[in-house]
Structure 1
Amino acid sequence: MIEITQTANIRFSDVTNWMDQHALPFWATTGYDADRQVCRESLALDGSINDPGFRRIRALARQVYVYSHAEMLDWNGPAAAIAETTLDFMTRHGWQGPDKGWASRLDDNGRVIDGTPDLYDQAFALFALAWRFRATGETAYLDLADQTLDFITDKMRAPDGLGYLEQVPPTSDERCQNPHMHLVEALIVLAHCRRSTRYLELATTIVDLYEFRIVDSDSGALREIFGPGWNVLASEAGQITEPGHQFEWVWILNEYEKAGGRKVDALTDKLFKFAASHGLAPETGLTYDQVLDNGQVAKGSFRSWPQTETLKALLAMGERTGKFELNRIAQVVDNVFQYYLAHKPIGTWIDQLNSGREPTSTYIPSTTLYHIYLAFAELRRLEPAIRSQTS
């Protein structure tokens, strides 16, 4: 790790300016379909409108989160209107009822293209509903969240009791860690919304699954895909880890403990150590897309979101220990601006770089804003604590 110094120049003002003056206004105008009153799925690489003909529930839910959080941070713009209308579109067209859960994909007018309940989509619907409640205090959002959670626990629980099915009906016997991670993320937010032990208890069962079965107890490697019963696959696909997800879990586990969950220091440290040891390009500090469970680089490209999850992990570790790695935080923020946010129009991004750090993106996915906004919001929240370390 880079040694902590008192000279790191963390770009707090640039972060706030990019969020409030550029990204939020851009995605509330060009990134918003005013005719249908719903956020767009993506834009063309030059920032022009080029709808792909579908809207994913997960993409809409992420934008509901962004503008709900912006409303809570008193952004001087139409945050409430963007979040409310997008969630209304999402609910009217995407909620299929307590026996079918949320659809996966809609067309531009809201007709269901794919009604398959996917755990990833259910998790982000929960996340959006929880954040909308936090912004408004309207209990109807929590009521729908509870119906969604009932659907997950009643209809999607794995037959062996180890987590939840990725889709119903299942199309494969492979198990995936990623949607379970986001389900924990949503449950933590819900735990802050309503005085009920249900959310944290469910989150704990998944955290236990990770600590005692999914995360490699020796190396700390978090494999992405498993066989039945969360058994390790013999194929190379079963050896793939994503450092961005390992860093994301570090932040989620810190939030879990803060919400009243059990202590998970050992798990957090293992995840962080593996990702920090094997997941970072030595010349830049950029986070790789994929490495194998033995630490070998499997995919040396660099998407944007692993960089923001690295930032969140560094912030979480600093909050947990009381000592922030200032130079590393500054480096990650610099990387995000240099390699991804320098794109024009300002408020948009390059989503993918190849191993030579050359842009390979062909469009601008709206889903990336969730990653950037949450990481930058965490940096803003912890700015006083970080500054106090340098004083």
Structure 2
Amino acid sequence: MANNHDSVKPWVMRGAHRQWLLREADDLFRFFEAASLGPSGSIAVPDTDGRPLASDGTTELHTTTRLVHCFALASLQGRPGADAIVDHGMRALWERHRDAQHGGYAWSFGPSGFVDDKKQAYGHAFVLLAASSALLAGHPDAGRLLADVTEILDTRFWEEAHGASAEEFTRDWRPFDTYRGQNSNMHLTEALMAAFEATGERAYLEKAHRIADLVVNRHARANGWHLPEHFTTDWQVDRAYDGNPIFRPFGTTPGHWLEWARLLVQLWELEGRASDWMLESARSLFAQAVADGWDGERGGFYYTLGWDGQARIADRYWWPACEGIAAAAALRGVTGEAFYEDWYRRIWDFSALYLIDRRHGGWHPQLGPDNRPKPEPFAGKPDLYHALQACLLPLLPTDIGLAKGLREGRLDGEKSIAS
């Protein structure tokens, strides 16, 4: 592949590539819509073939919220059937996940009630994202959901002294560990920006700024852009932490460096390009991720690195590639540099060849170091959110989020429907 595209028209400016992205998004919607509506308010995860994955009916909060967010985007695109899926997910959030006794949203429910009743910052961040997207899509219950989760985040999770969120509580809001995590705060930053765009309330944007300043401008910068994942209660880096190998793995996770790069460009734009450190940090995180996290021989991003910078979990998950695509598109959009165009193409090439499942649909969630699909640690194809955003984000300008951009007709110059 050519290494310099200075004189070549970027892919996202080519009609054929934009149509390809929309077709990929359509394929994802079709794969997930057939398997999403479970009984008793549950949300079914597709299996490898796109059928509902056999389960006991347990539904986790991030599954419900991401489905609402994604199909709210589908509704904003005018996709028939999308509103019914949003309705299903919104009912599940309000009637099944919401804790009417203690407030907040339980991590999972089953046919008989809550299965895991802990209150997680990660899950509540996605409730805020789902509510914001549903509000922009015109869902009648989105306003109450947005107000409710905003109050919970403000009164239960937000720690003003640190400018970030606490991590988790018992059902009745008792703290039970001292862990603080960047991942939940990163997704809260995404959701806060979406809430700002949905409401115009700057308090959301101010919180997003404070989280980014703490996690990236302070900690990622101090660690040579090897973004730390795990912290103590007072937000000191905990390099020894070794938790869940999927959600809280030891070491560093290059996919999150890419994700922050994309979010920082968006935050920089929403704030009127007022903080130069945001673009600088986005560029530095992206450069470090492709230098240390990309397998130069076989392609793909390693899932985790040790503190020595070497691959620790060498499997390739789908979502770092998705975040790399979106980050490369955003950085090319604001800098015009061929470096980001090169990486945009390189990551899409890898994804199209190895991650997109042309036989059954959807994306393979994990590959081994040989780039062949693996049956674990994820069952079926559990995620629409990352792959869909990789297809849609490059189609929009960098100064607007997905839901607001679709609502205002910023996709391919559609006439605004916001007025």
For the superposition of Structure 1 and Structure 2, which TM-score range results when normalised by the shorter chain? Answer: 0.7 to 0.9
Residues in 1 aligned to 2:359 and 2:131: alpha-carbon distance in whole angstroms: 32
CA distance in 2, matches of 1:37, 1:174: 32
Q: Does structure 2 retain, via aligned residues, the 8 Å contact 1:289–1:299?
A: yes
Which whole-Å CA distance do the structure 2 matches of 1:279 and 1:112 have between them?
38
Is contact 1:8-1:330 (8 Å) kept? no
Contact 2:364 2:381 in 1 (8 A): no
1:364 corresponds to: 380
Q: TM-score, normalised by structure 1?
A: 0.88
Q: Secondary structure at the match of 1:62?
A: helix
AA partner of residue 252 (structure 2):
T
Partner SS state of residue 372, structure 1: helix
2:264 alignment partner AA: L
Give the match for residue 381 of structure 1. 396
What secondary structure is seen at the aligned counterpart in 2 of 1:228?
coil
Quote the residue 1:298 is aligned against. 312
User: What SS is found at the alignment partner of 1:52?
Assistant: coil
| Alignment correspondent of 1:311 | 325
Any idea what SS the aligned residue of 1:103 has? coil
Give how far 1:260 is off.
1.9
Instruction: After TM superposition, give the deviation of residue 280 of structure 1 in Å.
Output: 0.7
Of all paired residues, the percent bearing the same amino acid is 21
Deviation for aligned residue 1:369: 0.8
| Residue aligning to 1:144 | 145
Aligned to 1:320: 334
Counterpart for residue 74 of structure 1: 78
Alignment of 1:226-241 (within 5 A): 226-235=231-240, 237=242, 240-241=251-252
Q: What's 1:220 paired with?
A: 225
1:220 is displaced (CA, Å) by 1.1
What amino acid maps onto 1:55 in structure 2? Answer: T
**Residues in 2 aligned to 1:14 and 1:64: alpha-carbon distance in whole angstroms:** 24
1:116 paired with 2:118, answer yes
- Say whether residues 1:350 and 2:361 are aligned partners: no
1:19 aligns with 2:21: no
Identify which range, 146-155 or 351-360, moves more after superposition.
Answer: 146-155
Instruction: Give the corresponding residue for 1:195.
Output: 200
Q: How many Å apart are 1:267 and its aligned residue?
A: 2.1
1:16 Cα deviation from its structure 2 partner: 2.0
Structure 1 distance, partners of 2:238, 2:118, is 26
- Report the alpha carbon displacement of residue 279 of structure 1 after superposing the two structures with TM: 1.0
**Equivalent of residue 89 in structure 1, options 85, 92, 95:** 92
Relative to structure 1, the CA distance from residue 171 to residue 24 in structure 2 (aligned partners, 3 Å threshold; closer, same or farther) is: same
Q: Does 1:65 align with 2:69?
A: yes
Unaligned runs of 5+ in 1: none
RMSD: 2.7
Shift of 1:27: 1.5
1:271-290 deviations in Å (ceiling 9; x for gaps): 22221211111124411101
Structure 1 residue 7 displacement after superposition: 7.4
Number of residue-to-residue matches in the alignment: 377
Q: CA deviation at 1:95?
A: 1.2
SS of structure 2 residue aligned to 1:44:
coil
Q: Which has the higher contact order (CA 8 A, sep 6+)?
A: 1
The more displaced of 175-184 and 110-119 is 110-119
- Amino acid corresponding to residue 337 of structure 2 in structure 1: K
